[in-house]
Homo-oligomer: A and B are copies of this chain.
């Protein structure tokens, strides 16, 4: 057995079952070791697909995938989506091949400082020292990755640590339960809520899963508190049977307006809300003056148990009555964001997964899709565009029996369009809906916010994707995914119904 085999056998023993990969020469022993094992290998034709897919896989399966990447530059291509994964608190075992340790000092063309590149996105990082210790390194990396709620564990595997002999795999390390919230925090939150002042329960992170949402609904029923969630949740259960959560608006002045009615904010699984960007004359922290805040549970704690304990403490009913939201009617008319949301609201199949990197379209579509059948909602967590298509790919690998819908802005979609090829290769059941508005619309809004109401040709052209116009149907066909263009809400409804009834990847390009 060599080091590579000991790594792969250890990963298998620790429960890793999928490896998203784009390997190169320095990973050949690992490729050979994967060849004879049980781990499914999924090729991405760009590393941003690999890391984004690992994120989507972790969000849906609650377990880490392995990624296999090629030295510093190959890894660098994955950083943006690992940044998103880190913000989503997703678990991943990130294996990066490197030159043989004795070759590094010669500064060959592909040599670079991998640790410096990897540290900003890694919650755990190590460069293996020998083929004998790499199995133990792997077990430790996987334990670190899986520490609740999850992190990216980066293991750098020099080529000689892969091909030199090893004794055997390492045993899995024990995993710990999510850290419990102290009774004191629950009592303090209960005391604050008993005062009866206008209260918002601000949910995020693991606080948006079914158990947490049920507890939140109990609290709302008992105390009348409002329920709100962070702007970009990593994963939220949503639709019929779940309480409808308002998302905190994106721009700081709108967020402060939405929070203005409240004198108390209870934080459950979400950090205190901060502005996505700093603006002149706008605050960074989005808790209005005069609103107290109380931390019930940090994202790294057992949020669901804390919410349940709080609901019990306050005498909330065991089984809440969750108001039924009306499912949207199939829309007709122009292809505008509320109609797009209504089409989703009307047609999302039960138990589907909706990945929303719809950007300016997504914000509005969220509102009109509230009454959909129950589904899992994933958002762009870290602001690094290009997450949606790969994350949908990974979600589909994690849940082959669930329909995945990727609502994707065109600007971000262009970053990692190679994910479509992986969807075709793996016959993944992903319906991709492209919002083709031929612009970075959000930047046009931001230009206006910066006081540039009449941008000149250079500034304007930096926000436009219309010259030439991109044809997503042609590009998707080039990667083996069939697609259609739609120009009205009626056409969208017709094509979405057809697409969702099929199995396998397809694409709908909305000409907005």
Please give the residue numbers on chain A whose beta carbons come within 8 Å of chain B beta carbons, in ascending order: 21, 23-26, 28-29, 31-32, 34-36, 41, 43, 45-46, 48, 71-74, 76-77, 79-80, 83-84, 87, 99-100, 102-103, 106-110, 112-113, 116-117, 119-121, 159-160, 163, 232, 271, 274-278, 280, 284-285, 381-384, 386, 411, 414-415, 417-418, 421, 424-425, 442-443, 446-447, 449-450, 452, 455-459, 461-462, 465, 467-475, 477-480
Known: A103-B278, A108-B275, A163-B280. A41 touches B461 (CB 8 A): yes
- Quote the shortest CB–CB distance from A439 to chain B (angstroms): 11
Could you say which residues of chain B place their CB within 8 Å of the CB of A116? 116-117, 119-120
Q: For the complex, what is the distance from the CA of A41 to the CA of B455, rounded to whole Å?
A: 14
Which residues in B have their C-beta under 8 angstroms from that of A421? 414, 468, 470
Judge whether B467 and A425 touch: CB under 8 Å: yes
- Whether A109 pairs with B80 at a CB distance below 8 angstroms is no
Given A80-B73, A106-B284, A446-B28, CB of A99 within 8 Å of CB of B277: yes
User: Nearest residue in B to A163 (C-beta to C-beta)?
Assistant: B280
Return the contact of A479 from the options B31, B163, B475 (Cβ within 8 A).
B475
Are A48 and B77 in contact, CB atoms less than 8 angstroms apart? yes
Which residues of B are found within 8 Å of A46, using beta-carbon distances?
386, 414-415
Q: Determine the chain B residues whose CB is within 8 A of the CB of A43 once the complex forms.
A: 461-462
Give the residue of B23, B107, B110, B458 whose beta carbon is less than 8 angstroms from that of A383. B110
13 A-B residue pairs with CB within 8 Å = A32-B452, A41-B458, A43-B462, A45-B415, A71-B383, A72-B120, A100-B278, A108-B276, A109-B232, A112-B121, A116-B120, A159-B278, A470-B478
Chain B residues with Cβ below 8 Å from A459 are: 31-32, 34-35
Q: Are B462 and A23 in contact (CB under 8 A)?
A: yes
List chain B residues, Cβ under 8 A from A87: 109
* B102 touching A284, Cβ below 8 Å: yes
**A477 B470 Cβ-Cβ under 8 A:** no
Contacts of A34 in B (CB 8 A): 458-459, 462
Distance between Cα atoms of A232 and B383 in the complex (Å): 36
Is there an interface contact between A278 and B112, defined as CB atoms closer than 8 Å? no
Shortest Cβ gap from A264 to chain B (Å): 21
Q: A446-B25, A475-B474 are in contact. Are A456 and B79 (CB under 8 A)?
A: no
User: What 18 additional pairs, Cβ within 8 angstroms, besides A23-B462, A76-B83, A100-B278?
Assistant: A28-B446, A28-B452, A31-B455, A31-B462, A32-B450, A34-B459, A34-B462, A41-B461, A73-B79, A73-B384, A76-B384, A77-B80, A103-B278, A106-B284, A107-B274, A110-B277, A425-B467, A478-B478
Bound complex: CA of A474 vs CA of B480, how far in Å? 10
Residues of B within 8 A of A23 (CB): 443, 462
CA distance A18 to B442 in the complex (A): 25
Q: How far is the CB of A270 from chain B (nearest CB, A)?
A: 12
Distance of A271 Cα from B483 Cα, bound (Å): 51
Given A113-B119, A462-B43, CB of A103 within 8 Å of CB of B284: yes
4 nearest interchain CB pairs? A468-B480, A103-B278, A73-B384, A474-B478
Cα separation A232 to B474 with both chains bound (whole Å): 34
Residues of B within 8 A of A285 (CB): 106
A276 CB to closest chain B CB (Å) equals 6
Beta-carbon contact of A73 and B382 below 8 Å: yes
Q: Shortest beta-carbon distance, A101 to chain B, in Å? A: 9
Closest-CB distance, A102 to chain B (whole angstroms)? 7
Say yes or no: B41 contacts A381, CB within 8 Å.
no
Distance in angstroms between the alpha carbons of A48 and B48 in the assembled complex: 11
- Least CB distance from A303 to B in Å reads 19
Given contacts A276-B110, A443-B23, A459-B31, contact A418 B414 (CB under 8 A): yes
Q: Which residues of B contact A381 (CB under 8 A)?
A: 109
CA distance A457 to B472 in the complex (A): 31
A120 neighbours in B (Cβ, 8 Å): 72, 112-113, 116-117
> Roughly how many angstroms separate A46 CA and B400 CA in the complex, as a whole number?
30
**Given the complex of chains A and B, what is the CA–CA distance between A461 and B110 in angstroms?**
24
Query: In the bound complex, what is the Cα–Cα distance between A415 and B73 (angstroms)?
Result: 12
- Please state if A472 and B462 are interface contacts (CB–CB under 8 Å): no
Name which residue of chain B comes closest to A464, CB basis: B43
Q: How far is the CA of A48 from the CA of B76 in the complex (A)?
A: 11
Pair A462/B21 contact, Cβ less than 8 Å: yes
Most chain-B Cβ atoms within 10 A of its Cβ — which of A29, A77, A103?
Answer: A77
Can you name the residue of chain B whose Cβ is closest to the Cβ of A164?
Answer: B280
Are A382 and B110 in contact (CB-based, < 8 A)?
yes
Cα A24 to Cα B163 with chains together (Å):
44
Chain B residues near A103 (CB-CB < 8 A): 275, 277-278, 284
Q: How far is the CA of A480 from the CA of B32 in the complex (A)?
A: 40
Known: A163-B280, A461-B43, A479-B475. A455 touches B232 (CB 8 A): no
A418 to B417, CA, bound (A): 9
